[in-house]
Amino acid sequence: MEHPDVSEAPATPDVRIGDRAFVVETLAADIEAEANRPRRGAFTIAIPGGSVARVCFSRLATLALDWSMVEVFWVDERAVSQTDAESNYRLARELWLEPAGIPAGRFHRMMGEAPDLERAARDYADELKAIAGDPPRIDYVLLGVGEDGHVASLFPGHPALFDQGPVLAIEDAPVPPPRRLSLSLPVLVSAARVVMVAFGTTKARVMAEVAGDPGSTLPAAQAARRARRCLLLIDHEAGARVEGRG
């Protein structure tokens, strides 16, 4: 894989605001463009669950990509079985992976149901490094944003936010379920491309801070600020307080 030089300085995030259809179509076009950039080896992408999955994944299943050259990881997972309604893997499998016909060997599930989360985190780190390098450099990280400004399973003020990772076992997340696996902030922001998607009025305050406060300590703001190439895709409701919004 070929990535920008790790010494490349972060740039100001690119903020785009529109209706939900605009957000979904812009995301689809961005993934296609990034996946088709020249590189050695497969295109690596890490994906979330939540509203991003529910709103966007059915469209992403129709992308015109060579899925045999795509490696799918997750940014986080809840400590539930793969058949549980709360499983990020289940959501992606039903809405994207199976409809797209992505070969099963090309997606890499976090074992959230493992009784030993520390061991599961180490195993996932090894799997990630085997494909994305050591330290891991993912081509494309797709993130949702929580109402509290969390991304992946990195919550404001939580010790995991400061862990160097690369994959973290979290036993005490402040929202249920408390047990989770998550990629670390250093892995997220080292990606060649970071795209953060937010929908709805409950995200308006957070997205105004992410887009407009360079001193914000919110996990979402830190991720946007530290990424070298970050795109914020926000619907009109979530972008209502963003200065200079479209």
Going by pLDDT thresholds of 50, 70 and 90, the confidence category of residue 179 is very high
- 29-38+49-235 domain in CATH 3.40.50.720? no
Which pLDDT tens digit goes with each residue over 99-122? 999 999 999 999 999 999 999 999
Residue 40: pLDDT band by 50, 70, 90 thresholds?
confident
Pair 48, 76: CB distance under 8 Å: yes
Q: What is the structure's pLDDT at 245?
A: 52
Please tell me the distance from the alpha carbon of residue 97 to that of residue 42, in angstroms, as a whole number. 16
pTM: 0.93
Residue from 169, 148, 142, 122 nearest 217 by CA: 148
What's the CA dihedral at 146, 149, 153, 157 to 10 degrees?
-150
